[in-house]
Amino acid sequence: MGRLLPHFFTAIKNNAIGLLVFFVIWLLVALFFPPYILPSPVTVFQDVLSYLNQDIGHHLAVTLFRVLAGFGLALSLGTVLGILAFVTNLTAWVNSFMVSLQVIPGMILGIILLLAMGIGDGVPIALVAILTLPTIAINTANALAKKKVALEQYLISAGGGKKHLVRYLYLPALVPTYQSNLSIGLGLSVKVVLLGEFIGSQDGIGYLLNVARIYFNMKEVIFYLAIVLLFTALFEATQSLLFAVCLERYFFPE
Amino acid sequence: MIMSDDFLTVRKLTKRFAVQTVIEDLSFSIPKGSRVTIFAPSGSGKTTLINILSRLDYNFEGTFSLAAENPATIFQQPRLFPYMTVEENIFLPIRIRETQITRDLLDKFERWLEVCDLSTNLHCYPYQLSGGMKQKVALIRGFLTEPDFVMMDEPFNSIDFRSKRAIINHILNAYPKITVLFVTHTLDEIPLLTQSVLLFKANQLAEFSTLDASHLNLNFMEAIYG
């Protein structure tokens, strides 16, 4: 635990500095635009209470649920698909397929899903699952393809079977990939859920963003974006802490 | 020299990598309870032979039979799992075979730690160990499963002579009946551990002869390998 915890605190510090820099840039850039285009953070925070009154807790919870459900689905399916691709020696084929899936525009897919599923939770969740899954599957298959042959040989020579290879070699090889999947995948998921709510939902932060931008209420738009930013930073810190405390051993120096 | 009590019998073994023949028409046998060295220059196919006998490579011609019930291989590279501690690495084969950890086994484990001077490193990870310490861990891991046959591929490369002698003495005392196939290209290790030597000429494990390990000397080796 001692080796990665300093890295965790450094990451928290860097995140905080990043957020601070973001707000400073925002403050400076806002000086050059009128408030109806880019309001300054000060004016946004002055109106925070009025935004909080409009059942923001419910919308935030709905968005969180969709992000976690869609991302959880993509993480599970993507991992299984990546493992299957590796086990069946179809990594190259699955990679090509996933890359082709990755280039489908989210907006088009969102409209297709909206027509197929109607307004509700389904569209943002399915959108996240479909658009995040390729990244996770490709990362998983590639991480397994880089397995250590010498360790595999040792396990076989020691009488290990497939379950031992999975337990002692393949799953540990996936831990660092899982962390990058969580970081990259969650950022992507948040964006996609907002897009899904934008297109086909009547609640969630994406929906609120859509309503606010229809009325050109840029203070409210920026407020919701700041909430999303804070949520993402909080998640990043939580997963860093989890990996630093529980899974440190899998991040070994070569 | 194929005898009824042969533990390992290799017959007409040939191994090719593309156009290169690494082992050609190799035949030899090792009686039960004997400790035999394969002495050959680097690049002559010793590790390839160990891989074949460890059933890691099935792409060869010829046959071999191994009567061991519980063989162990100690590879040239320690092959420790980087995310396991020293203790976890050592007990890995025990966990794989679901062998019960008895008081006797723990006593043997502690004795090995004393011999290898690793008692204070049990909770270290491999990246925190020196090359010699890693090799010692690999040796303990191989022997703690109480094998009846051990194949060792240059396991003392990074270990100093004093430690090497202590480890070999411990092997000879604690495992007097074990059958050993020891691969090395370091002359001083041979008489310490083994009773006889298989000599392979040129760059192929093709021809061999046996001799008493105590008769080895540098001049003899130079006469063979130049």
pLDDT in tens, B23-70: 888 888 889 999 998 887 777 788 899 999 999 999 999 999 999 889
In a domain, B135, yes or no: no
The pLDDT tens digits of the residues spanning A74-83 come to 889 988 888 8
In a domain, B142, yes or no: no
In a domain, A145, yes or no: yes
In a domain, A191, yes or no: yes
Chain A positions in Cβ-Cβ contact with residue B96 (cut-off 8 Å):
155, 158-160, 164
In a domain, B24, yes or no: yes
Interface test with A, best of B81, B137, B152 (most A CBs within 10 A): B81
* CA pair distance A113, B15, nearest whole angstrom: 58
With residue B13 as reference, give the H or E element that holds it: strand B6-17
What total of structural domains would you count in chain A? 1
More confidently predicted of B202 and A54: A54
Residue A40 has pLDDT above 80, yes or no: yes
Residue A12 has pLDDT above 80, yes or no: no
In a domain, B139, yes or no: no
* CA pair distance B68, B50, nearest whole angstrom: 15
Q: What is the CATH number of the domain that holds B58?
A: 3.40.50.300
The pLDDT tens digits of the residues spanning A101-136 come to 777 787 888 788 888 888 778 888 888 888 888 888
Residues near A236 by beta carbon (within 8 Å), at least 6 away in sequence: A11, A15, A183, A186
Interface test with B, best of A155, A157, A179, A252 (most B CBs within 10 A): A157
Q: Would you state the pLDDT for residue B1? A: 41
Reduced to 3 states (helix: H, G, I; strand: E, B; else coil), residue B154 is coil
Chain A positions in Cβ-Cβ contact with residue B126 (cut-off 8 Å):
252
In a domain, A15, yes or no: no
Residue B132 has pLDDT above 90, yes or no: yes
Q: Would you state the pLDDT for residue B195? A: 85
Residue B223 has pLDDT above 60, yes or no: no
In a domain, A125, yes or no: yes
In a domain, A121, yes or no: yes
Range of the domain at B212: 6-80+147-225
Q: Using 50, 70 and 90 to split pLDDT, how confident is the model at B210?
A: low
In a domain, A117, yes or no: yes
In a domain, B160, yes or no: yes
Question: Between A153, A164, A249, which is nearest B56 by CB?
Answer: A153
Residue B225 has pLDDT above 70, yes or no: no
Burial of residue B205 (CB within 10 Å: 0-12, 13-18, 19+) is buried
Cβ contact A230:A60 at 8 Å: no
Q: How far is B226 from chain A (nearest CA, A)?
A: 33
Share of chain A above pLDDT 90, in %: 7
Q: What is the CATH number of the domain that holds A221?
A: 1.10.3720.10
Residue B222 has pLDDT above 80, yes or no: no
Range of the domain at A106: 56-236
Q: Would you state the pLDDT for residue B116? A: 96
User: Does any CB of chain A come closer than 8 Å to the CB of residue B49?
Assistant: no
Interface test with B, best of A3, A147, A148, A154 (most B CBs within 10 A): A154
In a domain, A72, yes or no: yes
**E strand spans, chain A:** none
Q: Would you state the pLDDT for residue A3? A: 61
Share of chain B above pLDDT 90, in %: 59
The pLDDT tens digits of the residues spanning A182-235 come to 888 788 888 888 888 887 778 888 888 888 888 888 888 888 888 888 888 888
Residue A14 has pLDDT above 80, yes or no: no
Q: Comparing A69-73, A185-189, B209-213, which segment has the lowest mean pLDDT?
A: B209-213
In a domain, A20, yes or no: no
Q: What is the value of ipTM here, to two decimals?
A: 0.87
Contact A249 B84 (CB under 8 A): yes
Q: Using 50, 70 and 90 to split pLDDT, how confident is the model at B3?
A: very low
Q: Which of A9-13, A52-56, A81-85 has the highest mean pLDDT?
A: A81-85
Q: How far is A5 from chain B (nearest CA, A)?
A: 17
In a domain, B122, yes or no: no
Residue A5 has pLDDT above 80, yes or no: no
**Structure pTM?**
0.78
* CA pair distance A127, A113, nearest whole angstrom: 8
Question: Between A151, A157, A254, which is nearest B73 by CB?
Answer: A157
Chain B positions in Cβ-Cβ contact with residue A155 (cut-off 8 Å):
96
The pLDDT tens digits of the residues spanning B85-103 come to 999 999 999 999 998 999 9
In a domain, B176, yes or no: yes
Look at chain B and count its residues.
226
What total of structural domains would you count in chain B? 1
Share of chain B above pLDDT 70, in %: 86
Q: Calculate mean pLDDT across residues A29-44.
A: 86
* CA pair distance A171, A150, nearest whole angstrom: 16
What is the longest distance spanned by two Cα atoms in chain A?
72
Sign of the alpha-carbon dihedral angle for A122, A125, A128, A133: negative
Question: Between B54, B81, B93, which is nearest A151 by CB?
Answer: B81
Cβ contact B39:B212 at 8 Å: no
The pLDDT tens digits of the residues spanning B70-85 come to 999 999 899 999 999 9
